[in-house]
Chains A and B, each alone.
Chain A
Amino acid sequence: MSRDYDDRDSIFEVEEEIERGGRGGGGGGRGGPGGRRMHRRKICRFCIEKVDLIDFKDVKLLQSYIPERGKILPRRISGACATHQRMLSEAIKRARNIALLPYATD
């Protein structure tokens, strides 16, 4: 189950790594002491882009928040803030109802 998320996670990870590189921050963020992952603050994409409304018709956007299995990408991975995650999940559920997005895929 966590497998679908893992590769998604890695995609986000890579993006962040690039950002860090651009900013010239310290390298080697991965793997803190004892093999535990370092905490890195993820920033809500929607807050940065100042999105006030997430439309259920915007399939392209929503699609990037459902991994292969069709589940909604959790906040701990997407990094979305509570408000935007709520909007997002609402929109995804509406889109599912009208068959724009799948309820489940395998």
Chain B
Amino acid sequence: MATQRIYEVMFIVDTSVTDDDITRLNENLQQIIKDQGGSITKVENMGRRQLAYPIGRKTDGFYVLFEVEGTGREIAELERRMRVNDQVLRYITVRVDEDRQRAEKFKAKRARKATRRASRGSTASSSRREAKETSSASEE
């Protein structure tokens, strides 16, 4: 089995089409992913947004975000479909699993460091306390 990867696919749909068309297109694309053996972990409609620059004379678009888990085959098919489809103004696919893993690693490292520092700090203070106790004992 090929390795499973996580992708974020964001695309812009033409706003001149109706909302029904957008939902239908969404479902179609999700079906394509499933057919190719991928799974969708998140779908987020980011809504209508002003484009930062015109794309094909369009100044606004409907943003949709998919989070896909799969081998990469479904991404190839999805991108091919989106390229052909005129309703999709633009798409971007970002592989996120590696970056997330790295972020996790940093986080774990920081946590480890923090615990080490905390334990060292507590032992130091406790040993100091012990020293104080012994000194007070000797005074008595």
Question: Which chain A residues have a beta carbon within 8 Å of chain B's beta carbons?
Answer: 50, 52-53, 56-57, 94, 96-103
Q: A103 to chain B: which residues have CB within 8 Å?
A: 52-53
Q: Tell me how far the C-beta of B17 lies from the nearest C-beta in chain A, rounded to whole angstroms.
A: 18
Q: Quick one: given A52-B106, A57-B65, are A99 and B52 in contact (CB under 8 Å)?
A: yes
Instruction: Please determine whether A57 and B10 come into contact, CB atoms closer than 8 angstroms.
Output: yes
* Interface band, chain B: 20 to 34
Closest 3 CB pairs of A and B: A52-B103, A99-B51, A102-B52
Q: Tell me how far the C-beta of B80 lies from the nearest C-beta in chain A, rounded to whole angstroms.
A: 18
Instruction: Please determine whether B12 and A53 come into contact, CB atoms closer than 8 angstroms.
Output: no
Q: B10 to chain A: which residues have CB within 8 Å?
A: 57, 98
Instruction: Please determine whether B53 and A94 come into contact, CB atoms closer than 8 angstroms.
Output: no
Q: B102 to chain A: which residues have CB within 8 Å?
A: 52
Type the 1/0 row for B25-68, where 1 means its CB is closer than 8 Å to any CB of A. 00000000000000000000010010111010000010101000
Q: Tell me how far the C-beta of A31 lies from the nearest C-beta in chain B, rounded to whole angstroms.
A: 38
* Contact with A101, one of B46, B52, B65, B91 (Cβ below 8 angstroms): B52
Of A56, A57, A99, most buried by chain B (CB within 10 Å of CB) is A99
